[in-house]
Homo-oligomer: A and B are copies of this chain.
Amino acid sequence: MGRVVVDVMPKPEILDPQGKAVAGALPRLGFTQFSSVRQGKRFELEVDGPVTAEVLAAAREAAEHVLSNPIIEDVVTVFDASDDVAAG
């Protein structure tokens, strides 16, 4: 069984209230190392067979048109993560 991972993040110029909330909470909880936080989405798409070039292309297409809103989000990465499935 294969897996494709798609990472989607809010565009840099877009306000990210969830990330801002986390960035505000961290120092109050003792984590002062981080100057800012942005929060995005990670999708894991399972495939019954292996992750072929066609599957990856379909995942890229789905990432652009279904999994992200191109007005406010960027697709950061689309990659074959089948090794993670094998590893458990």
Q: Mark A1-14, 1 if CB is under 8 A from B, else 0.
A: 00010011100000
Give chain B nearest CB distance to A88 CB in angstroms.
Answer: 10
Tell me how many chains of this kind the complex includes: 2
- With an 8 A cutoff between CB atoms, is A72 at the interface? no
A59 surroundings in chain B (CB, below 8 A):
33-34
A4 surroundings in chain B (CB, below 8 A):
34
> When A and B form their complex, which 10 residue pairs have the shortest distance between CB atoms, in order from nearest?
A42-B42, A34-B45, A36-B46, A40-B42, A38-B44, A31-B62, A33-B58, A35-B46, A33-B55, A35-B48
A-B CB contact pairs (8 Å), 8 listed = A19-B44, A22-B67, A31-B62, A34-B59, A34-B62, A35-B47, A36-B45, A40-B41
